[in-house]
Chain A
């Protein structure tokens, strides 16, 4: 779930530098800013074009038509539950005039030079590949039409594709796609400028929700194959004892008892890479066995002595003090208009609050797992990865092989949420296969491994101040956001959020406040920091939207009316004018921040939720609205807080504007999921560290919301939009408004303000 500057933060391989220099406007800009290197000015590239893999639109790469009249669409974006294998395939099928029940999907292996960017994060798959995949399908359709016209010796203008057949209008003759398959694939591929797209009014599947989930039948029958399910002849099962502290190294080990466990075959040491961690395996001792249970028992029997290294004293409670110091002192100014400091100092009505979000682990239901095999100088990897090419690059480097000798097969992901953007676990499998002379090895992480050796969402402390004018509206706004940066995972010593991180709902607030000062303190990282669904928007959204609610109450105003007044009238704001030069890597002209759309979701959510209605005792409604990943989301959450502090959530109303919805049913599914993930982190999510070690280990102490706690009703309100509107993201932007809407609702119900997540037992503790 990275929202990173394209090309800017991935470990810079030769490949990305070469491609970056040739193609990446954003990357060129980075070099110029950091290194003073002046290159010939180029217009910046946006969207998929700014990624190393770019866009490939060749129908011969993505579409195969078979003589049995079936169609295979190759999907190059990994499937982790967002439905992309269904949604990209239906886009191709629609323009192709294919019959959905006859469409099959095959997953592309890692190869960005062939398929274009496969790096699946940042809510980008449909946003970046809707138009290209339309053109792929349309070009293939035109090739079928050309083949039929040639067969009948009639002008191509007299034929038309229709539901898996090409029809000659004059005579009514028909040829099926299967009959045309061989000839069609030999037609020349139309130039992109010649490709004729459908009129959206003619769409059969796009925007319709009438396409079955491509993997649904396999999933419900237990046939769907995830990374953990790979089985190869002679495969060994491995679990790894990794350093518990980032940067720790093995000093000595005794494997005698482990090797005595029946079924255990061997132990193998994996070297620990020096920091920064990047995507490299953490190192440690692997136990290889004939089955998983023997490997687990063998690992329990290892005697290990570690040097915990430079992070041995990291304590997250103490680190909170570091964050407090950081946000209570002046720091690097990243946006400044007017003179907020002076006004705050002199103000008679000054509000101040701090909001804390702890570290979070992803806890995808499928823990990391990968399989590798090396034979005849060729390494094959099967892995559930969001970043296939980064996986291939890592394995290539670790094995010292040529890229062409490494194949990465992308399995289904049993959840990703950003964790599986980091392919360290696939690197482990490759190293272990090499150590076993190429024998197939599957590495599986236990839940404890997953919780304790994750790439974590960074803990954050947000400090906000506002000075209110006589009308109750803010005259000045100060926000300091302190959190470790993901860059620290890749660059030693990187501190504090960068523009791709504070650009997530902190710098780009569209409020009409005359004096605004935004600051970013330097904060170090002591654990691996990684992308987590919606990333820094979580902390920023929680803080900003809670604070707006607090300020509205301080002004004695209704939070909805107050927020709308703060946003002001509908207008399109150039993100650069909000100190946001990043804009999620998208064009500022194509994707301005549209306050009309932000107002729209607030108005929709509040009206659907019956904002202002009389609430029973102990009930409250809370509102929050955020803009992220080019989409607008507003949540109204109803809570009931019982006499003993027990919290239930009868209903959520979530209004969402992502522009047009290609697969509305999957958009709804993503929003339902984002809502529940947002509630989980608000109520339960907390990773703490002591002596450098994560203190949680499994679902008993790192809880995930269960069905009985989930809202009984999640009502989704999708804003309609035509296909002339650029697409926004879907996977992540539903999440940021959830925690603040929940906490604002708790305030409305009880008068108690939550400024520290997770809520946990806070409510019951304080009432008892």
Chain B
């Protein structure tokens, strides 16, 4: 099947089987390899992107479920005010170790901060519950989310 998708503000055409998870369309067909494979079951969050502004696990989201919806990946999130603040905080606090899961972490954090400018630790636990980091960067992720929130409040 041929599909038209809206990815990072651009309209793109892809050829894919209807049940193909969005993850493989992004990675294999569009070359957007910033979105990572981690589990294939929606358990680890490495594949998180935004669909219409909401965090979605692309490894279990078929491509035909996102037609006509705005898709934003880690490659595009820096153009967004919130996404940029998250990336900036991630760098300032040296969050990444191996970095592999961080695209998904950043997408989940950006989705949280778009709706909540004063996230509590409990809000963060809840928003980030679907993202695993095997390197153990959780303490810095938490600190970076607080820092990005503070920056966004100051800039608002």
Contact = CB atoms under 8 A, between A and B. Distances in A.
B24 A221 contact: no
A634 B52 CA distance: 48
Contacts of A414: 36, 98-101
Contact of A213 (B96, B101, B128): B96
A202 interface: no
A228 B94 contact: no
A672 B139 contact: yes
Interface stretch (A10-18, A77-85, A87-95): A77-85
Nearest to A215: B99
A263 B39 contact: no
A321 B74 CA distance: 50
B80 interface: no
B61 interface: no
B28 A237 contact: yes
Nearest to A677: B136
Interface class of chain A by DSSP: loop
Contacts of B53: none
A714 interface: yes
Interface in A513-556: none
B133 interface: yes
Contacts of A222: 32-35, 73-75, 103
Contact of A707 (B102, B128, B135): B128
Given A263-B17, A292-B27, A366-B36, A676 B138 contact: yes
A220 B96 contact: yes
Bin chain B's interface residue count.
35 or more
B97 interface: yes
B127 to A, nearest CB: 9
A435 interface: no
A712 B125 CA distance: 10
Nearest to B17: A262
Interface string A343-370: 0000000000000000000011111000
Contact of B91 (A213, A665, A712): A213
Contact of A364 (B17, B43, B134): B134
A363 B46 CA distance: 13
A221 B132 contact: no
A365 B17 contact: no
A444 B28 CA distance: 12
B97 A82 contact: yes
Nearest to B98: A81
A543 B31 CA distance: 48
B144 to A, nearest CB: 10
Contacts of A669: 94, 97, 137, 140
Interface in B16-44: 16-17, 20-21, 24, 27-29, 31-41, 43-44
B37 A444 contact: yes
Most buried by A among B20, B39, B40: B39
A710 B141 CA distance: 12
A221 to B, nearest CB: 6
Q: 10 closest pairs, A vs B, by CB? A: A222-B34, A676-B136, A414-B100, A81-B98, A81-B97, A222-B74, A219-B99, A673-B136, A708-B125, A229-B33
Interface of B: 16-17, 20-21, 24, 27-29, 31-41, 43-44, 46, 73-75, 78, 87, 90-91, 94, 96-103, 106, 121, 124-126, 128-129, 131-142
10 contacts: A224-B99, A293-B21, A414-B100, A673-B135, A677-B136, A699-B41, A699-B43, A706-B129, A706-B132, A710-B138
